[in-house]
Amino acid sequence: MPKLIIDDITVEVAEGVTVLEAAQSVDIPIPHFCWHPALGKAGACRVCAVKLLDGPIKGIQMSCMLPAQDGMVVSTVDPEAVAMRQQVIEWLMINHPHDCPVCDEGGQCQLQDYTIACGHGLRRYDGKKRTHLNQDLGPNIEHEMNRCIQCYRCARFYQEFAGGTDFGVMGSASRVYFGRFEDGELQSPFSGNLVDICPTGVFTDKTARFRARYWDFDMAPSICPECSLGCNTTPVARYRELLKISARHNDAVNGWFICDRGRFADKKVNSFDRPRVPLVNGSSSGWGDAVDAVAKKAAEFAPGSIAVVASSRLANEGAALLPDLARALSGAKLCFFSNEVICRASITAASQITPHMAASLDDVASADCIVIYECDLRQEAPMMLLAVRQAWRKGAPVFLVGKGAPLEQAAAVSVEAVDLDIIVEAPIGIFDRPVIIFSTMRSSAAEIKNLMAAEAKFAPLFDGPNGMGMAKLAAANSTISLESAVKSGLIKGIITIECVIADELRGEIPIIAALDWQMNSSVKNAGVFLPTTAWVEMNGTFVNNEGRAQQFKKVMAPGIPVSATLESGHPPRIHSLDVPGGEPKPAWEVITEIMKRL
Ligand code: FES
């Protein structure tokens, strides 16, 4: 392990670690643009200069390109290194439009921070600035090429890391352009990461353009609810409106990135038709009366004739109370899943998998063989596809097994995969770290049992952010699916909790009450509706597909976005302690209130 001295601090690091990373490990910051922990080094920006005073190498060096060696004596504050970094920043800023006041990156911009940190405040070059035309990259990403400092992070991420082919770098002479051959929406399912990875404001989130500055944001650590992988996110809100979502770093789960579905499919929370007040028989009501109405209506049903059904959108805090709610409803049938096949498959996967057998996204990225069994990761878990690409880049073969695993998913991340009809054709046994990915929405319990007999790690996919948590609770409480409960003929009324049930499944059975934060058929048909908070409006826990319980924190208070309450362009001029549309409560709180009444 090389031992070196950086600014008088002795540092010991693993073989291959760069001087930049060695300095970061002891909290010595070195400016950097092109280096990124997920992408590694490029040596493009030259702003990470340090001076080596003694040891095997001497003089000014780029710290991101230099592996740490025994005996190195490094200074990040030597006047020569400081002057070099100052000059580099000055060159980088020569063509920059200096448009921080109208740039959405302002306040969270690496270029802005390092420009100030390196002391550059005066433009000495009085030549004309080089300018570019911007492209329309679709509804999600704004392009402003004049802010580019040619760090190549965007092209390296898009092409190398994510396997995208419709975006890259083009150039001639001193003009280097990062974009597409022509205007058009970016095709990669991971294109939104350009916003996070760009150290300046070339790529910004178009959906939240000009809405708020970094210091205005309401934000908190959260978990993506769009699939069962549990990617770590940071949602951002202002004035009761969810503005945007960015990736939150977690090496064991999503690394530094998230998919476009998780990033951009967030606006249901702000939806104008979102139900926000309790309703009894379609008319608005106070909380007390609505909860009383649930208790009163439930009392009209014989013991054992009500089904309580939830979905994997529900966080653990609410889900864990459901067995008590079912008991309080005189032995209601408890259903954590609606569909019988999905219910059996989910319970089988959740009960068979052990922590030792479960593959995290990081395990998938470092596997030496990948089998994707009867599922399309573009639909069911896009970030899993990104992890598969990282394994493939390191040499792992990728096998797509069955008709339910289309080749197009591999093409979406430029992975060359082998198409197989049956799993026994995949030579899993000859590899040391194989991973089998399968879906509890596409495979039966019997198939899953067979699959899990293989010598491999497994990445099961569930039907929602808390699918694994619900399956564990379903197994622990010996529950059945709504489908079997209805088939038994005993069910005469249903209470849905953050769950949509198909009309064909329900038939003529009335919905006594619906607890939800989204407008759907269960809400529309319910005798009593009780509004719950969305995941960004509460604290809670989801258990992801590998069995990892992860907390999400409250980002914003529930309420109608201020932008929707404007009176002639101005927020209401009457002050009130009551937040318009602020009635929703976390599902666990609503369930507790119902139990108290019962
Ligand atoms: Fe070292 Fe860019 S960070 S050259």
What secondary structure does DSSP assign to 51-86, as a single string? EEEESSS-EEEETTT-B--TT-EEESS-HHHHHHHH
- 259 in the same domain as 134: yes
List the CATH number of the domain containing 422: 3.40.50
Question: Domain for residue 371, yes or no?
Answer: yes
Q: For 551-573, what is the mean pLDDT?
A: 89
**Domain final residue, candidates 462, 485, 509:** 462
Distance 515 CA to ligand 1 centre (A): 52
Distance 65 CA to ligand 1 centre (A): 7
Distance 5 CA to ligand 1 centre (A): 20
Contact assessment for residue 429 and residue 328, using Cβ atoms and an 8 Å cutoff: no
Q: What pLDDT does residue 266 have?
A: 63
Q: For 482-497, what is the mean pLDDT?
A: 96
- 3-state DSSP call for residue 584? coil
Residue whose CA is closest, atom 3 of ligand 1?
32
Q: What pLDDT does residue 172 have?
A: 80
Give the atom of ligand 1 at the shortest distance from the alpha carbon of 48. Answer: 1
Query: Ligand 1 pocket: which residues have CB below 6 Å?
Result: 32-35, 43-48, 62, 64
Number of domains in the chain: 4
Distance 63 CA to ligand 1 centre (A): 7
CA distances from 523 to 269, 285, 300, 424, 519 (A): 16, 15, 20, 46, 6
**Looking at 192-240, which runs of residues are DSSP E strands?**
203-205, 218-219, 222-223, 232-238
Q: In the structure, what pLDDT confidence band is assigned to residue 385 with cuts at 50, 70 and 90?
A: very high
Q: In the structure, what pLDDT confidence band is assigned to residue 568 with cuts at 50, 70 and 90?
A: confident
Question: Domain for residue 108, yes or no?
Answer: no
Q: What pLDDT does residue 577 have?
A: 85
- 255 in the same domain as 135: yes
List the CATH number of the domain containing 290: 3.40.50.740
Give the atom of ligand 1 at the shortest distance from the alpha carbon of 63. Answer: 1
Tell me the per-residue pLDDT of 277-308, one tens digit each, with 9 for 90 and over.
999 999 999 999 999 999 999 999 999 999 99
Residue-number span of the structural domain to which 24 is assigned: 3-93
With the most atoms of ligand 1 within 8 angstroms of its CB, the residue from 64, 66, 74, 200 to mutate is 64
Distance 95 CA to ligand 1 centre (A): 19
Q: What pLDDT does residue 573 have?
A: 82
Is pLDDT at 101 greater than 70 in this prediction?
yes
Q: For 4-26, what is the mean pLDDT?
A: 96
Question: Domain for residue 288, yes or no?
Answer: yes
Distance 17 CA to ligand 1 centre (A): 15
Euclidean distance between CA atoms 17 and 133, whole angstroms: 39
Is pLDDT at 567 greater than 90 in this prediction?
no
- 172 in the same domain as 67: no
Q: What pLDDT does residue 570 have?
A: 83
Torsion, Cα 85 87 93 98, to 10 degrees, reads 80
With the most atoms of ligand 1 within 8 angstroms of its CB, the residue from 24, 33, 76, 118 to mutate is 33
Is pLDDT at 569 greater than 90 in this prediction?
no
Average pLDDT, the chain: 95
Q: What pLDDT does residue 56 have?
A: 96
Which residue reads 């990728």 in tokens? 398
Q: For 236-253, what is the mean pLDDT?
A: 95
Question: Residue 396's CB: how many other CB atoms inside 10 A?
Answer: 23
Give the pairing of strands 493-497 and 306-310.
Answer: parallel
Give the atom of ligand 1 at the shortest distance from the alpha carbon of 32. Answer: 3
**Domain final residue, candidates 432, 462, 492:** 462
Q: For 230-248, what is the mean pLDDT?
A: 96
Q: Lowest mean pLDDT of 4-18, 384-398, 553-567, name the range.
A: 553-567
Q: What pLDDT does residue 412 have?
A: 96
Is pLDDT at 455 greater than 90 in this prediction?
yes
Report the percent of the chain where pLDDT is more than 70: 100
Question: Domain for residue 306, yes or no?
Answer: yes
Distance 64 CA to ligand 1 centre (A): 5
Give the atom of ligand 1 at the shortest distance from the alpha carbon of 49. Answer: 1
- 301 in the same domain as 247: no
